[in-house]
Amino acid sequence: MSTAARADSGGLFGWLDRSHTVAKPGFSRWMVPPAALCVHLCIGQVYAFSVFNLPMTKLIGITESAPDDWKLTELGWIFSIAIVCLGLAAAFTGTWLDRVGPRRAMFTAALLFGGGFLVSALGVHLHQLWLIYLGYGVLGGCGLGLGYISPVKTLITWFPDRPGMATGMAIMGFGGGAMIASPLSVLLMDYFSSPTDVGVAGTFVTMGLIYLVFMMIGAIIVRVPPHGWLPEGYTPPAQPKKMVTANHVHVDEALKTPQFYLLWGVLCLNVTAGIGVLGQASAMSQEMFPGKITAAAAAGFVGLLSLFNMIGRFFWASTSDYIGRRNTYMIFFALGMALYAAVPWTGHTGSVVLFVLFYCVIMTMYGGGFATIPAYLRDVFGVRYVGAIHGRLLTAWSTAGVLGPVLVNYIREYQINHGVPKADAYSVTMYIMAGLLLVGFLLNWLMTPVDDKHYMTEEELKASMEN
Amino acid sequence: MTETAQPNQISGATKVKLVLAWIMVSVPLVWGVLNTLEKASQLFR
């Protein structure tokens, strides 16, 4: 029995099969981005999870932490476990996703992510932290990884003329998800709170159900194009651009190419620089501009960065369709270097406006890095296994998620312990970040097309389609 | 075989679904953006 037959299970869940998701005549490809956004707007919640941390330190004491209440350090692990599971799930489920199609993958992601919230609600109710590690951390994290990569290949196939814009739209949703989740969580906790309850369990149940339904809608409306489909008026270029292949590289073969590791480094360094300062943005703005930026204004600054992170995902990924992926990353690294190096200068001049402006531009490139990478992979390795290869590459994100904050925090502590004033403690960090971007620039500069020997033959491609 | 999308073949029902799908994802996103902008305005007060 072929793997395709095994993937098409029929029965109660037959509607999830790839064969049931092939678009019928009259279907508009513009239905696919909202389907992808249904998933990404939900899983983007992960960036807003910290809103639950403080209330969860008062589950017993309610107004203040009781001795048996959980500590912030213990709660910090929930996010970390989720991010690690995100990377692992994206890396290990890519090939399965490629076989079963986007609907089954999105359905599974919805069950895992929504279910993770419900298990966590039980953990809060029973005051069992391990249930939250398991629920939001492991189950939710796996749902995150699977949900993140599930619509990517489908979007690229529907939009061969604008792959950057298409994936940028979905990945923009991941950036926007936190902007919805943060105020929604606060509203729900207010609603469910009482003199004996901080309202976290009720909020988890409600959000879990909302996300489950929303992601299921995405799974229902997603479609894959019929084999060989092309948009009206689009003819694949007879002479492909130098960095855009018309061939396909198998996911296992991609791991044997230097291009995969160059792109891994490119993504890792771009994310390390961005994520490092994003986590410290609030404290950094207040310490660099004491008396000028208050705690409330700093919260506004963080919100503004999220907004530009989201805008950058769509803007840069769409722009890359015109200027090329390699050039787009060249801009990220060159402009990023200049801006990171200039941030300490804004502190010395006391210019809040320039500080905010520089960071907003930096954040567009941080988001743009995530959103442009699927189209970059498609250009280099072809469409056939782009979803699976993207999944493997996301381990760079998990690595950067640890590296970035550790670098920023460690360097800041070291500076302060050696007598550097708080206002200047970030200068060295910024120069180091600029140095990381220089390395990223060089890695991206080294990018060349994949050697012909790695491309799949016609027979291999045909066999992979049948499977 | 190469099939091509024919926009003029998109039925009225598909157009309605299309509008509803985009509204469904846009409304929460716009709400989130407005909330963020309101919070961000603190920075320039």
pLDDT at A7: 53
Residues linked to residue B14 through DSSP beta bridges, in sequence order: none
- Residue of B38, B39, B45 for testing the chain A interface, max A β-carbons within 10 Å: B39
pTM of the model: 0.89
- Given the structure tokens 């312990």, which residue do they identify? A417
A225: chain B residues, CB-CB within 8 Å:
3
Structure tokens, A159: 């939009």
- Given the structure tokens 């599971």, which residue do they identify? A85
Are the Cβ atoms of A227 and B1 closer than 8 angstroms?
yes
Residue A419 region, left (φ>0) first, then alpha (ψ -120 to 50), else beta?
left
- Binning chain A into helix, strand and coil, the percentages to the nearest 5 are 75, 0, 20
Measured on CA atoms in the order A170, A175, A178, A184, is the torsion positive or negative?
negative
pLDDT at B42: 82
Are the Cβ atoms of A307 and B36 closer than 8 angstroms?
yes
Q: Return d(Cα A113, Cα A141) in angstroms, integer.
A: 7
Angle formed by the axes of helices A386-393 and A352-381, nearest 10°: 140
- Residue of B10, B36, B38 for testing the chain A interface, max A β-carbons within 10 Å: B36
- Given the structure tokens 């600054």, which residue do they identify? A301
| Cα dist from A208 to A104, A117, A118, whole Å | 19, 5, 6
Minimal Cα–Cα distance from A186 to chain B, Å?
12
Minimal Cα–Cα distance from B41 to chain A, Å?
7
Minimal Cα–Cα distance from B3 to chain A, Å?
5
pLDDT at B1: 39
Task: Render A98-148 in DSSP notation, one character per residue.
Answer: HHH-HHHHHHHHHHHHHHHHHHHHHHHHHT-HHHHIIIIIIIIHHHHHHHH
Per-residue pLDDT at B5 exceeds 50: no
Are the Cβ atoms of A176 and B17 closer than 8 angstroms?
no
Task: Render A251-305 in DSSP notation, one character per residue.
Answer: HHHHTTSHHHHHHHHHHHHHHHHHHHHHHHHHHHHHHHSTTTS-HHHHHHHHHHH
Are A440 and A271 in contact by the 8 Å Cβ rule? The answer is no
Per-residue pLDDT at B18 exceeds 70: yes
Q: Return d(Cα A1, Cα A41) in angstroms, integer.
A: 38
Query: Using 50, 70 and 90 to split pLDDT, how confident is the model at B6?
Result: very low
pLDDT at A249: 95
Compute CA A118 distance to the chain's CA centroid, rounded to the nearest angstrom: 23
pLDDT at A276: 79
Q: Considering CB atoms only, which of A221, A233, A307 is closest to B21? A: A221
Residue spans of chain A under pLDDT 50: 1-5
Q: Return d(Cα A91, Cα A397) in angstroms, integer.
A: 11
B35: chain A residues, CB-CB within 8 Å:
179, 182-183
* Own/partner pairs, A328-331, CB within 8 angstroms, 24+ separation: A328/A368, A328/A372, A329/A266, A329/A270, A329/A369, A329/A372, A329/A376, A329/A440, A329/A444, A330/A441, A330/A444, A330/A445, A331/A365
Pairs across A and B, CB distance < 8 A: 104
pLDDT at B3: 46
Q: Return d(Cα A302, Cα A310) in angstroms, integer.
A: 13
Task: Render A145-210 in DSSP notation, one character per residue.
Answer: HHHHHTTHHHHHHH-TT-HHHHHHHHHHHHHHHHHHHHHHHHHHHHHH-BTTB-SHHHHHHHHHHH
Angle formed by the axes of helices A325-349 and A258-288, nearest 10°: 20
Minimal Cα–Cα distance from A263 to chain B, Å?
31
Q: What is the CA radius of gyration of chain B?
A: 19
